[in-house]
A and B are shown apart, each in its own frame.
Chain A
């Protein structure tokens, strides 16, 4: 039977196992939205407040489940509003299919109303993209988009569909099954044997893993390897949640704001086994001073990552789960008592340093920033420490998806939250997109049915708080925790440390009442100044079943510590503000 291009899109989405899509209608996708309306019993469309929110929601849906997230937008501004969301997904290797409408083929290239070359715009930030000008190719192009998005190292794919192609008709038969990804590359045995040889002869192994372990479902395998070779485990921001924080071998995130113990342990190791990670500059610090004292084994599904940022002594391309599993079998069971003792000592040191740094930072800022953030209105004990906020929320949260925006609150959450299972921590690591959180939290909740907790700052939240409207209309179980310090804290921190306290455009001086704001959107809210108040608000928030905003008062000079200054190395680590 002949059906329209718009119907083909919807039927193909359903065929590909898509239960929920996110988007925003417009002139060049009216036909598509008409078909979504007709098929509303079979596929759920969530309308956001802004296309950017929809793109982050599709991203959150994908990260929380591993399935391909789908976002739909109209041509022109609808399409360009997706760009930040697509780039966010690209940098963090998130499987996503973005569908955009475009002006009819006959109007393309004439600067028609709401026309933009979105394929050209998104070429460098997608795994691949398509414009479909022939209805006969529409279904297979969409299938290919799904296939590319989920194959190998996942990523976003955009399909641009001119209006006339949505209107045209052609024969369509749905496939019985979603497309299967391209076969994965498997690590060559001889390389794994070389790796095992290096591991067997090393004395201070350290495992550094990244987001590839989550998308490659290799959590168990990583822990088994660490147990067998007696190695501590650290990870990049993207790796967080793959290994439970309570795993005794887990030292936490390394890098610019990583844990002291993991950063130092890595530096003192004689062999670093990098798994599904890409040696981002935020994870390594100064490249020229990185890996002076250790060898590197690097395993990744993406051959282009090998030797890209840091040259490896042994680079292996292959599926991470299979590779680590086979590698573990090849390695000898080892114990490194001296190394383990050293790691223990580092952890103790870290605990001490954290305590004292937090204390001194707090005392320090009380005296010097009265002018900046008008502290006089509140006594000093009416400020919550960021770690207390994370601890109290975590204690009340239960089984949730933790989402963050970008900035200080993101690092505090990454450092402190007791993640226990993969895909429960969603954050924009590569692109560092402020405003990522609201959309992602809504997408994650829609995908899993679990409550989302969004840790955000007053800066980041301001970027996409319009999505509160979406959360309320969807009755999303969402707890928004604003670490409200009245400043753009991360930039301010740099200004304090490296720019002579020239607080250029980082003091917000806003008068936003987030509780009233939440209420205006139809959500609930509370402003809290003390641990007791936060405890009460958290209990109420997690039991309300809907969307709740907790506005937490935080001092404007709380620092994210430790910190490896940009371009610095482990020798330059800042663990306290003097």
Chain B
């Protein structure tokens, strides 16, 4: 099973996220991650959906998405030619004996400490999923207090764009 990342351009109106996520629920398709946000045009939002499946499942998801009235454009992003990023915010225990190790990890992963207190360190990290996963594994022994990750956002390299042709 491969992971697919699809970009979906939708009309920016209320309820559209329910329609898209509801379609996945109703059809029994599983989502790895789903993100939604503004685009360069106020009329459209962009949803990035990642899921695992085979070619057949991918086709079915594309077809079902295209049937939704508010969906303007759907495209499977070619992972070799796409910048894929995720943002992690993670809070770990700030203990004197491991502080230096954490600082080193932060530096090597080119992440950032965005909050510092006597009890905790909050780190911000951007990168591909594998990098985020690796970082979490690395700091796990130090004591993760809480974390959240955004899910994938993705954009194609070069001139290729998701266009509204519909």
Contact = CB atoms under 8 A, between A and B. Distances in A.
Interface of A: 119-120, 123-124, 127-128, 131, 148, 302-304, 306-308, 311
A311 B56 CA distance: 9
Given A127-B69, A304-B67, A120 B60 contact: no
A306 B66 CA distance: 14
A123 B19 contact: yes
A304 B70 CA distance: 16
Contact of A304 (B15, B22, B63): B63
Contacts of B56: 307, 311
B64 interface: yes
B18 interface: yes
A304 B60 contact: yes
Contacts of A304: 60, 63-64, 66-67
Nearest to A144: B69
Most buried by B among A123, A131, A148, A302: A123
Nearest to A129: B15
Contacts of A148: 69
* 7 shortest interchain CB distances as A-B pairs: A304-B63, A128-B69, A124-B26, A303-B63, A304-B64, A123-B22, A304-B67
Contact of A119 (B15, B59, B68, B69): B15
> Chain B contact residues: over half helix, strand or loop, or mixed?
helix
19 contacts: A119-B15, A120-B18, A123-B15, A123-B18, A123-B19, A123-B22, A128-B69, A128-B70, A304-B60, A304-B63, A304-B64, A304-B66, A304-B67, A306-B63, A307-B56, A307-B59, A307-B60, A308-B60, A308-B63
Contacts of B60: 304, 307-308
Interface string B5-42: 00000000001001100110010000000000000000
Given A303-B63, A304-B60, A307-B59, A124 B22 contact: yes
Contacts of A302: 67
Contacts of B67: 302, 304
B165 to A, nearest CB: 14
Given A124-B23, A124-B26, A128-B68, 5 more contacts: A119-B15, A123-B18, A131-B15, A303-B63, A307-B59
Give the size range of B's interface with the partner: 10 to 19
Contacts of A128: 68-70
A128 B71 CA distance: 11
B8 to A, nearest CB: 15
Nearest to B59: A307
A311 B60 CA distance: 11
B61 to A, nearest CB: 10
A202 to B, nearest CB: 25
A302 to B, nearest CB: 7
A124 B28 CA distance: 13
A101 B63 CA distance: 33
Nearest to B14: A131
Most buried by A among B19, B56, B60, B63: B63
A361 B49 CA distance: 55
Interface in B50-90: 56, 59-60, 63-64, 66-70
Contacts of A131: 15
Contacts of A127: 69
A303 B66 contact: yes
Contacts of B63: 303-304, 306, 308
A566 B18 CA distance: 34
Nearest to A128: B69
Contacts of A308: 60, 63
Most buried by B among A124, A131, A148, A311: A124
A284 B70 CA distance: 33
Contacts of B15: 119, 123, 131
B22 to A, nearest CB: 6
Contacts of B64: 304
Interface string B80-123: 00000000000000000000000000000000000000000000
Contacts of B19: 123
B21 to A, nearest CB: 10
Most buried by B among A127, A303, A304, A311: A304
Contacts of B69: 127-128, 148
A130 to B, nearest CB: 9
B51 to A, nearest CB: 17
Contacts of B22: 123-124
Contacts of A119: 15
A124 B64 CA distance: 12
A202 B60 CA distance: 29
Nearest to B70: A128
Contacts of A306: 63
Nearest to A155: B67
Contacts of B68: 128
A123 B25 CA distance: 12
Contacts of B66: 303-304
A147 to B, nearest CB: 10
A124 B19 CA distance: 8
Nearest to B26: A124
A308 B15 CA distance: 26
A206 B55 CA distance: 29
A160 to B, nearest CB: 11
A504 to B, nearest CB: 30
A142 to B, nearest CB: 15
Contacts of A123: 15, 18-19, 22
